[in-house]
Amino acid sequence: MDESSMFVSPEADKVPWAVPALYGLAPFRNNAALADEVDDRLMPWIERVGIFPGRHDKVRAMGFGRFAMLCHTDTDEPDRLLLAAQCFAALFAVDDYYCDDERTGSEPRMVGPRLSLALAALEPVYLSARFRPALEQALSGDPVLVALRAYLRRVETFATAAQVARVRHEIIAMFVTMTAEAAWRIEGLTPALWEYLAQRQVNSFLPCLSLIDIIGGYELPANEYSAPEVRRVTALAASATIIANDLFSALKEQQAGIGDFNLPLLLIQEQGCSPAQAMAQSAAVHDDIMHLYEAAERAVLPHASQLLQRYLRGLKSWLAGNVEWHRSSGRYQV
C-alpha cells in the first residue's frame, strides 16, 4: 500500500489487552463537522425506532456518524452518510440485544427464533389477511425489528432492486453465522481457529460494505460485484475489518454477560498464551489478511472498469476508516 502506515496504541507496553500496531492505511478523510452533522441526524432516528433506550449519550459517544464519515469518503452528503450510520446502529442493536450482551436481554437459545423473525423485517412476508395483523404486531413491537425495517426502507430510496437484494443477502448470511455462534455457547463448544475465521468472514462488516456504491451514488453491476475475483477482494476486506474489531473489543468482552467469542480469547484457550501474546498473534492474523487483500486487489485492478475501480477505492477507504473509528469509538472504552 503506497499510503500504508502502522496504527499503534500508546498503551501497548502497559496494558495486556492493548491493541498492537496494525498494518493499514491512514484515513482518507477526517471531517469532524461532517461526522457531527450525521450524528445529529442519526440520534432522532434512533429515538424514533426505539433502540438503545436510556443509552443515547453512550450511543452518541460511539460515533456512528464519524464511522460513516471515515469509511464512505466518496460522498460528503450527510443524508447519504446517514444511511451508513443507520446500518451501524441497526446491526449493532441486533448484536447487542439478540446475540452478545445478556445485560440487554440477549439469550443464546433465542438467537435463532429472533433472527428468523428478523427476516420479515428485511423483506416483506406475503400472508393472507387472517395472519397479517399478528405479524405486523410482532414487527412493530420490537425496536430492533423496527430499526431493521426502517433501515431497509431507506436503502430502497437510494438503491436499485439488485442493490437492495445484495444488502439483504449479506445481512441474512450474517444471521446464519450468528445462529451458529449461539449454538457454540449453548453447547459449550469452542470452535477451532480455522472454523472461527471462516465464519468471521461472513459475520463481519460485510453487510455494511455492501453499501459502498449505494452511498457513493452509483451501481456496481451485480455480475461485477459477484465475480469471483472481486468477491475475493471484498471478502478479504471484510475479514480484515472484523479481526480489527476483535482486537479493539477484546478488553470490553472480558466483562460479565458479554459474549466471549473473539480471536484473542480463542488463541488463549487453544494455546494457553498470555493476553498480550494473543493480541500480538491476532494482529499478525489481521496483517496477513491485509497482505492477501492487497494481492487480490492488484490482480483485479489492471482489468477493472471505471465503476469497479471506484468500488475498490471505496473498499480501501473503508478499511482505513474502520481502524481509525475503532481506535477512538466510545463503544470500546471500558
CA atoms within 13 A on the CB side of 93: 28
Whole-angstrom distance, CA of residue 200 vs CA of residue 101: 18
pLDDT at 103: 67
Q: Within a 10 A sphere around the Cβ of 176, how many other Cβ atoms?
A: 13
pLDDT at 232: 98
pLDDT of residue 128: 98
Predicted pLDDT at 112: 95
pLDDT of residue 242: 97
Amino acid 10: pLDDT: 43
Residues 141-163, buried b or exposed e (16+ Cβ, 10 A)?
Answer: ebbbbbbbbbbbebbeeebeeeb
Q: Which CATH number fits domain 4-332: 3.30.390.10, 1.10.600.10, 1.10.10.1150, 1.10.10.410?
A: 1.10.600.10
Q: What is the pLDDT of residue 255?
A: 72
CA distance 35 to 63: 8
What is residue 16's predicted lDDT score, i.e. its pLDDT?
Answer: 87
Distance CA 164, CA 187 (A): 35
Question: What does the pLDDT read at residue 100?
Answer: 76
- The pLDDT, as a whole number, for residue 186 is 92
Angle between helices 143-158 and 161-187 (to 10 degrees): 150
Residues in the chain with pLDDT values less than 70? 1-14, 101-105, 256-260
Cα separations in angstroms, 188 against 155, 181, 196, 316: 38, 10, 15, 37
Radius of gyration of the chain (CA): 19
Enter the C-alpha cell of residue 317.
477507504
What per-residue confidence (pLDDT) applies to 14?
Answer: 47
